[in-house]
Amino acid sequence: MQKEILIAGFGGQGVLFAGQVLAYAAMDSGMEVTWIPSYGPEMRGGTANCTIVIADEEIGSPLVQYPPLAIALNLPSYDKYEPLMQPGSLLVVNQSMVDRLAKRNDIVTVFIPANEMAEQIGDKKLANMIMVGALLAGLPEISLEALETALKNHLPVRHQKLLPKNFEALRKGFSIAQEQMAVRP
């Protein structure tokens, strides 16, 4: 088994952290992992993305060109990566920042109003965890529990007080994605 994941958005949306948490969850579960960040020189607002490869055996290449699993946190990322998705793949889109529907019908596209959901939970910075939770609905190799454990084990001590809201965000994203995926033909 080998799964390749792409997460893309603007700097400041927690793109790299979302990828790190997925990588830690897979690594802590005994899988082989690569995590490669990529970002522009801007502190906030520039492009940011990362790729994660998880496998049950040695990974031959960490490069991800045509991802079977992806998160697009903004419209430029959606426009860029939707055409590159493999047929049958899962693309989780932050509906809060995307004003168009899917152009492809050979992939599963799940739209999550992550920004609004994060504000309902009480912290707009949780949009990334909502999206990661949604991605897990199509990634059975990593459970919600494994991701929660990775957060608990790898979140800096000064942020440990945020764990309950992060867990809530993960669960809400997972639940909404499961609902959307269940009604597909």
SS3 33: strand
Largest interatomic CA distance in the chain: 45
- Total domains present in the chain: 1
The percentage of the chain sitting over the pLDDT mark of 70, rounded to a whole number, equals 95
Q: Which domain covers residue 147, as residue numbers?
A: 2-182
Angle between helices 163-182 and 127-136 (to 10 degrees): 50
Residues of the chain with pLDDT under 70: 40-45, 183-185
CATH of the domain at 86: 3.40.920.10
Model confidence pLDDT, tens digit, residues 147-164: 999 999 988 888 889 999
How many residues belong to the chain? 185
Q: Tell me the pLDDT tens digit for each residue of 59-76.
A: 988 888 889 999 999 999
Question: What is the predicted pLDDT for the residue at 184?
Answer: 62
| Residues sharing a CB contact under 8 Å with residue 38, sequence separation 6 or more, in sequence order | 47, 48, 49, 50, 51
